[in-house]
Amino acid sequence: MAGQLSVEDLQRIAEVGQEAERACAGASSEAALEEVRIRYLGRQGVIAQAFRALAGAPAEDRPRLGQLLNALKADVERAVRRRAESLAAETGLTRLAEERIDVTLPGRGPLPGRRHVLSRTMQEMAEIFIGLGFEVVEGPEVEADHDNFERLNMPPYHPARDAQDSFYLGGGWVLRTHTTVVDVHVMERRTPPMRAISYGHCYRRDPVDASHSPMFQQLDGFMVGEGVRFSDLKGVLLHFARAFFGPDTRTRFAPSYFPFTEPSAEMAIGCVICGGRGCAVCKRSGWVEILGCGMFHPRVLELSGIDPERYTAFAWGMGVERLAMLRHRIDDIRLFYEGDLRFLRQV
């Protein structure tokens, strides 16, 4: 049934296929390729004409010729598509190459904002104590002399007031010398058990130098309850020191004196600057004091209406600047309040 097909016909179809593939390969642009496509695949193209000529072919040859022409059309279409793809890739690459920029130019944009190292430090400390069940509260900076001192067992002219030389506003108002006074306010408004911390500005009449500022930040905390022990104080502060300075931090508690605590202690940590080998910061001792603490004096509890036989309490207070200075190796407290952006952006 296919016997009528001439060799010429078959050769002609094969030649057209080869020509078209060569034309595709030779098309050097998308426009040239489009010409090739129209020449072969267009409505007046070679293959369309061949299909039209099919009507004149012997009836028994038509199906076979039709198959061959369809195969030819598919081949040419594939050749055009491939070439189109390769041309697109080439021109795309060229365009991308032309769009090259100097990637080593410096970045451009706004400088990032940043919170003050002390406000971040206080927040971080507060979070550590929140995790231990403490409530964070705040109190006023201007206090009655009575609250700031007497209710903390420091009567007028008590020698311990020397360490807390204070600024007065007249009318018996004093700029609080410690945030411990906030503990007093919490105790008068609440009933045990209670755990609270507070932080903020405190004021002492110290001449300004690298380690003294008339205004500084303190963080104080306390816990009142039945069976609260000195050992709990050690445990809570040890946890704090490790959370703040790192898990390997060593602590040391030594006796001290505060009129509002008994027993009183000072906590030192292994010097974070020299690792305990001895340096200028720790005065060659290997230890730096970071806070004062103790069990609230029974008198302080009594003055706040808490029965000291039934309840015991511990309290501590620390200078926020000192901790931040140790952690960030800052050597001058004045930097915190000067506002030099090179400092504020750095730490």
Partner 1 sequence: MRVPLEWLREYVDIDIAPDVLAERLAGAGLPAEEVIQAGEDVVLDLEVTSNRPDCMCLLGIAREVGLLLSHPVRLPDGYAERPRTGRHTGRTRRTVAGRTSRRGASAPVAAPRDAGDRVRIEVEDPAGCPRFTAAVIEDVRIGPSPAWMRRRLEAAGVRAINTVVDVTNYVMLETGQPMHAFDCDRLGTRRLLVRRAHPGETLETLDGVTRTLDPDMLVITDGTRPVSLAGIIGGRDTEIGDRTATVLLEAAYWHAPTIGRTARRLGLRTEAAARFERGADPNAPPAAQSRAAWLLAEMSAGRALAGMVDVYPAPVQPATVRLRPARACAVLGTEIAPAEMVRILRALGCRVTPGRTLSVQVPTFRPDLVAEVDLIEELARVYGYDRVPATLPRGDTTPGTMAPVLAADRAVRDTLAGCGLVEALTLTLVRSAPQLADGEPRAAIANPLTQDHDALRRSLVPGVLEVLATNAARRIGDAHIFELGRIFVPGGDGHRPWERRSLAIALMGRWRRGWNVPAEHASVDLHHLRWILDVLCEELALSADDVCPLSAAPADLAGTSPLGPARWWHPGRSAELRIGGHPVARYGEVHPDLVAASKLPHRAYVAEIDLEALYGLAAGRPGGARVSDEIPPVPAPRPIITARAFTALPRYPEIERDLAAVVPDAVAAGRVETIIREAAGPWLEAAELFDVYAGPPIPAGHRSLAYRVRLRAPDRTLAADDAEEILTRVRIALRTRAGAELRE
Q: Which two tokens stand for residue 153?
A: 């067992």
* 3-class secondary structure, 6: coil
Nearer to partner 1, 227 or 247 (CB): 227
Stretch 258-297 residues interacting with partner 1 (CB under 8 A): 259, 262-265, 283, 295, 297
Per rule CB under 8 A, is residue 244 in the interface with partner 1?
no
Quick one: tokens of 244? Answer: 């703040």
- Asked if 265 and 256 touch (Cβ cutoff 8 Å), the reply is yes
Among 8, 98, 99, 226, binds partner 1 (CB under 8 A): 226
Burial of 189 (0-12, 13-18, 19+ CB in 10 A): exposed
Query: Taking the complex as a whole, how short is the minimal distance between the CB of residue 291 and partner 1, in angstroms?
Result: 14
* 254: contact with partner 1 by CB under 8 A: yes
Closer Cβ to partner 1, 51 or 230, answer by number: 230
Among 219, 222, 236, 251, which Cα is nearest to 319's?
Answer: 219
Query: Which of 20, 228, 290, 303 forms a contact with partner 1 (CB under 8 A)?
Result: 228
Q: Of residues 96-135, which lie at the interface with partner 1 (CB under 8 A)?
A: 105-116, 118-119, 123, 126, 129-135
Binding mask 172-191 for partner 1 (x = CB under 8 A): xx-x------x--xx--xx-
Would you say 35 and 74 are in contact if contact means Cβ atoms under 8 Å apart? Answer: no
Cα separation, 220 vs 116, whole angstroms: 20
49, two tokens: 């004409």
Among 3, 56, 95, 171, binds partner 1 (CB under 8 A): 171
149 SS3 class: coil
| 239 contacts partner 1 (rule: CB under 8 A) | yes
Q: Specify the residue, 66 or 193, whose C-beta has the smaller distance to partner 1.
A: 193
How many chain residues are in contact with partner 1, going by CB under 8 A?
101
Q: Which of 57, 64, 84, 257 binds partner 1 (CB under 8 A)?
A: 257
If binding is defined by CB under 8 A, does position 305 make contact with partner 1?
A: no
What distance in Å separates the CA atoms of residue 205 and residue 24, rounded to the nearest whole number? Answer: 92
Q: According to the binding rule CB under 8 A, does residue 256 interact with partner 1?
A: yes
Tokens 């040859």 -> residue: 61
Q: Binding to partner 1 by residue 2, rule CB under 8 A?
A: no
- Would you say 131 and 221 are in contact if contact means Cβ atoms under 8 Å apart? no
